[in-house]
């Protein structure tokens, strides 16, 4: 079973599904309206079936992952373009595995939630309140194309997290822009074309900078013992690059990832794109595509350029704290429901980046866990907001009021998703945010204190949003609003359940994440700070920062703080503290 090409099969399944959808009869096929609706239903069922099959395959693969085994598992390495040292190389560590799991869980949820978002008809008016008049322009919207692009995007998402060849990673990194561009520009609302072009231009700019750095890495690899040059991640980590070279290459990668994340001040494309996209597309954009940026930081920026990562850490910490506070403050002042949720993501991504560059085991484990939890919690929030908007026909918060009296299930789930957004204890986001803040506090106390203010601001924008939309007198426009239907409940319930379960029992996820985090810390020559305590000062001084005894002592201390198991022995991955 270990030799089975799990990652290739998992990535190929949604691609096969997209081809199957492409082969179904299209708009030009003869038939009545009933035939057209039947074809649309078939397309949706194919998309749902292939996304569920992908989830099953990845779940079976994840069950065979050994946290105590090699860092990268389920590896496949084949020559792709030998002349340039490019390989089809895939494999996952704990960080990549949990992000792939998050992606394949979100996809069937998004397919179900988007069931009626795009119909194969010509839109002819009916502008959604709170959007620009551009939605009045008649346009044909193909159900077939929309769901096919979803499945293609799922293949790209699996590929970008699984790639262990830097060039292959770059290909997936850029290719995933194409389906998302069309999902926003052709199927969105409001200023969809402006938002799509802005998203594409920002991403392409970052991608070009990263391409220069990728090519430079290849050139330097020819002087590092690989006469033909290589893009393999495991070989590039052993390159002896000068500090100056590392700094320039780090910037090439980091700017691309900061745009994708998005980290302040590279964030301005996100509110426009998330507001214009359909709710399902917004979930994929904010829940998965953003995580490619933070995943790239922890995988490539830290492992490939450790000296540069330490050099730029103070700058990244400052940008992260500004992002946390800026996103929260701006979210409070938003009048548009989807735009408010988008700005909360800017704040949360600042926290994730803060945890990554705190260079502590708790900070990075919390940041990785936060990537997963943010995908589920914000995904649920976007979907429920989308259900709300589809019923009322408006993005504006002021157009709602008293919804909990006419649609109590919708309001209740909206409240749980919102409480996850403000990291209520007992929900998964609290565990990850707590680990980020504790891990940051041990090294950067001022940054951790300022970031903690973001929790207070989060309570303001979440609870105020809920108060204005769900409580108070019932507005006439929402008096007849129906509650959630069975299909909508099936879409949202799994995300809410995961937020609760991972909040109560996060150990399985953290057990997978921790060994990969410790390998990253070892690669960057980082260790957790030793608390200044009289009882440990003399003994800790007798150990070097690289010794296994010192690392195990740190594991004992950090485990007491986080109350979750950590495994901090790089030479014995998976050993419990």
> Between these two residues, 216 and 139, which has the higher pLDDT value?
216
For 346, list phi and psi in degrees, rounded to 5.
Answer: -60, -45
For residue 184, being part of any structural domain is answered with: no
For residue 467, being part of any structural domain is answered with: yes
Q: Which of 65-69, 431-435, 545-549 has the lowest mean pLDDT?
A: 545-549
**Is the Cβ–Cβ distance between 396 and 129 less than 8 Å?**
yes
Question: 10 Å Cβ neighbour count for 182?
Answer: 16
Q: What is the pLDDT of residues 189-228, one digit of tens each?
A: 878 888 889 989 988 998 899 999 999 888 888 875 555 7
* CA dist., res. 33 & res. 24, Å (int): 16
Number of domains in the chain: 1
Predicted model pTM: 0.84
Q: What is the pLDDT of residues 371-425, one digit of tens each?
A: 999 999 999 999 999 898 888 888 888 888 888 888 899 999 999 999 998 888 8
Residue 136 has pLDDT above 80, yes or no: no
**Is the Cβ–Cβ distance between 78 and 154 less than 8 Å?**
no
For residue 21, being part of any structural domain is answered with: no
> Between these two residues, 139 and 103, which has the higher pLDDT value?
103
Instruction: Report the mean per-residue pLDDT for the chain.
Output: 83
Q: What is the pLDDT of residues 331-353, one digit of tens each?
A: 998 888 889 999 998 999 999 99
For residue 414, being part of any structural domain is answered with: yes
Report the phi/psi class of residue 52: left, alpha or beta, with left for phi > 0 and alpha for psi in -120 to 50: alpha
For 401, list phi and psi in degrees, rounded to 5.
Answer: 160, 130
* CA dist., res. 353 & res. 82, Å (int): 36
Q: Which of 20-24, 94-98, 361-365, 541-545 has the lowest mean pLDDT?
A: 541-545
Q: Which residue range forms the structural domain that includes residue 400?
A: 313-539
Average confidence (pLDDT) over 281-305: 90
Q: What is the pLDDT of residues 225-279, one digit of tens each?
A: 555 778 888 888 888 888 898 999 999 999 999 998 888 888 888 888 888 888 8
Q: Cis (ω within 30 of 0) for the bond into 237?
A: no
For residue 503, being part of any structural domain is answered with: yes
User: What confidence score (pLDDT) does residue 145 get?
Assistant: 87
For residue 451, being part of any structural domain is answered with: yes
For residue 92, being part of any structural domain is answered with: no
For residue 97, being part of any structural domain is answered with: no
């Amino acid at each position: 079973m270990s030799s089975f090409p799990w990652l290739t099969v998992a990535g190929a399944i949604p691609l096969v599904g997209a081809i199957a959808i492409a082969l179904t009869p299209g708009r030009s096929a003869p038939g009545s309206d009933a035939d057209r609706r039947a074809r649309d239903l078939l397309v949706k069922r194919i998309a749902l079936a292939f996304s569920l099959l992908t989830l099953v395959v990845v779940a079976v693969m994840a069950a065979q992952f050994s946290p105590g085994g090699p860092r990268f598992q389920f590896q496949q390495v084949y020559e792709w373009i030998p002349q340039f040292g490019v390989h089809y190389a895939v494999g996952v560590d704990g960080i990549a595995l949990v992000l792939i799991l998050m992606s394949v869980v979100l996809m069937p949820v998004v397919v179900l939630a988007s069931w009626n978002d795009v119909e194969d008809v010509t839109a002819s008016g009916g502008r959604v309140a709170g959007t620009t008049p551009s939605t009045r322009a008649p346009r044909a919207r193909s159900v077939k194309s929309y769901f096919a692009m979803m499945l293609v995007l799922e293949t790209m998402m699996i590929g970008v997290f699984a790639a262990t060849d830097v060039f292959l990673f770059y290909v997936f990194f850029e290719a995933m822009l194409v389906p998302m561009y069309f999902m926003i520009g052709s199927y969105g609302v409001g200023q969809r074309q402006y938002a799509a072009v802005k998203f594409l231009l920002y991403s392409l700019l970052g991608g070009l900078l990263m391409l220069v750095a990728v090519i430079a890495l290849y050139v330097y690899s020819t002087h590092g013992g690989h006469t033909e040059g290589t893009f393999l991640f495991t070989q590039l980590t052993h390159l002896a690059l000068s500090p100056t070279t590392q700094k320039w290459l780090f910037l090439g990668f980091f700017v691309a990832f900061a745009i994708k994340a998005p980290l302040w001040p590279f964030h301005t494309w996100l509110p426009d794109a998330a507001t214009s996209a359909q709710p399902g597309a917004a979930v994929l954009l904010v829940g998965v595509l953003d995580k490619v940026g933070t995943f790239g930081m922890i995988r490539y920026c830290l492992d490939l350029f450790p000296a540069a990562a330490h050099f730029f850490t103070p700058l990244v910490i400052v940008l992260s704290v500004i992002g946390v506070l800026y996103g929260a403050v701006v979210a409070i002042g938003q009048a548009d429901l989807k735009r408010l949720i988008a700005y909360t993501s800017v704040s949360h991504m600042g926290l994730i980046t803060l945890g990554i560059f705190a260079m502590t085991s708790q900070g990075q484990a919390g940041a990785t866990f936060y990537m997963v939890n943010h995908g589920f919690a914000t995904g649920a929030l976007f979907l429920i907001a989308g259900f709300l908007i589809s019923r009322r026909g408006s993005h504006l918060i002021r157009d709602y009021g008293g919804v909990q009296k006419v649609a109590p299930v919708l309001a209740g789930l909206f409240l749980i998703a919102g409480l996850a957004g403000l990291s209520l204890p007992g929900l998964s986001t609290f565990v990850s945010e707590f680990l980020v803040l504790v891990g940051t506090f041990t090294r950067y106390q001022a940054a951790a204190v300022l970031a903690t203010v973001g929790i207070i601001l989060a309570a303001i924008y979440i609870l105020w949003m809920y108060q204005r939309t769900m409580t108070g007198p019932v507005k006439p426009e929402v008096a007849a609003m129906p509650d959630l239907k069975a299909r909508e409940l099936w879409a949202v319930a799994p995300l809410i359940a995961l937020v609760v379960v991972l909040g109560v029992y996060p150990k399985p996820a953290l057990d997978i994440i921790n060994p990969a985090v410790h390998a990253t810390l070892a690669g960057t020559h980082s260790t957790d700070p030793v608390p200044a305590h009289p009882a440990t000062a003399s003994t800790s001084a007798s150990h070097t920062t690289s010794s296994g005894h010192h690392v195990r002592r740190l594991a004992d201390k950090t485990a007491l703080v986080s109350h979750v198991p950590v495994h901090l022995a790089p030479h014995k991955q998976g050993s419990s503290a």
